[in-house]
Amino acid sequence: MRPTLRGVGVLVVAVGATAVGAQFGQPGLGAIAAPLFVALLGAAVQVSLAGLPTVERSSLRRGFPGESRTLKLTAEGSGIARLTDRRAEGVGGTATARCSLPATVSFEVPFERRGEHSLGPVEIVVTDSLGLMVTSGTVEATDEVLVFPPVYRLGGPDAFVRTLVPDAEDRESFDRLREYTPEDSLRDIHWKSSAKRDDLLVTEFDDDSEDRELLVATRAKAGDGDAMAAAAATVVVGALRSGFAVELATPDGTVPAGFGGRHRTRLLEALARTGTGQSDREDEADVLVGATDGGVVVHVADRTEAFDDLTASRENPLVSGVGA
């Protein structure tokens, strides 16, 4: 505990008034000094009895870059407090709020970058109601929040199968004609039949992807991990939507093959945490996602595609679609 700048000023005035009054026989100055000493003593007692407040932190639901969550800090105590929440740069960095205790303060936490980010500790400065005395300390109210890599929109399940599946054309056979939708590729339009019907028809193929597995491997140079993770997340989500059982091999480990929403979450968790380097299963991978200084590419069999050419938009189709 120590005096604030205001408290130092009050103390100087009180001591000066007392000294001048004693030296020059001015008892009226003592009447000025006495309440100032009382105020300082009262402030010291108030801050001493209050001590540091206890702080509880609300948990944050995981999400994607570009989203945000509301964080609440509940502080129990007395006095005037300044709460400084030390957070990682990937979730907005440090934030500060002033409040009269007890109180609950809210912060908007922006998700800016994938990864597992630390929240806390909380640095606290408590003053008395007059702002004369102050005490400070740190409360270990800590937590972590996971931010997934961004997922981009591909050109639909049919486009995924044709572009990112080895030997895709050999595994599909003609099924039927149906009406054109905006998600369909122009190259699937059956122009001869469309002319007869005076309406656009597209060719639909039979696909046996439902019972197949796809191994996706990743690699990235130092500094390119985020770009690799975003591309790999887009590929695995597209594969799951197309009916594949997806296995993922990253520089940090492997996620076994699986289907469904829970498996999708496990894949995104792995890509949120993975670092740079090279997977040891590249040679057996069906799809290899690589990131270098020259950009992100996707290798499928003997084909190489620039990742940007495979995406329809940077809109995330999974926002609010992944569990906490």
299: Cβ contacts below 8 Å, ≥ 6 apart: 287, 288, 289, 290
Taking only the tens place, the pLDDT of each residue in 167-192 is 554 444 555 677 877 656 565 677 77
DSSP string, 159-182: HHHHHHSTTGGGGEEEEEEEE--T
Q: Which residue has the tokens 């084909």?
A: 303
Q: What length is written for the chain? A: 324
Query: What average pLDDT does the chain have?
Result: 87
Strands (E), 180-244: 201-207, 213-220
Protein fold of 54-147 = Immunoglobulin-like (2.60.40)
Alpha carbon of 79 to those of 41, 74, 219: distances in Å?
Answer: 15, 14, 53
Specify the pLDDT at position 171.
44
Taking only the tens place, the pLDDT of each residue in 131-159 is 999 999 999 999 999 999 999 998 755 56
- Contact (CB, 8 A) for 143 and 59: yes
295 vs 306: CA distance, rounded Å: 8
67 vs 145: CA distance, rounded Å: 13
Taking only the tens place, the pLDDT of each residue in 45-103 is 888 888 899 999 999 999 999 999 999 999 999 999 999 999 999 999 999 999 999 99
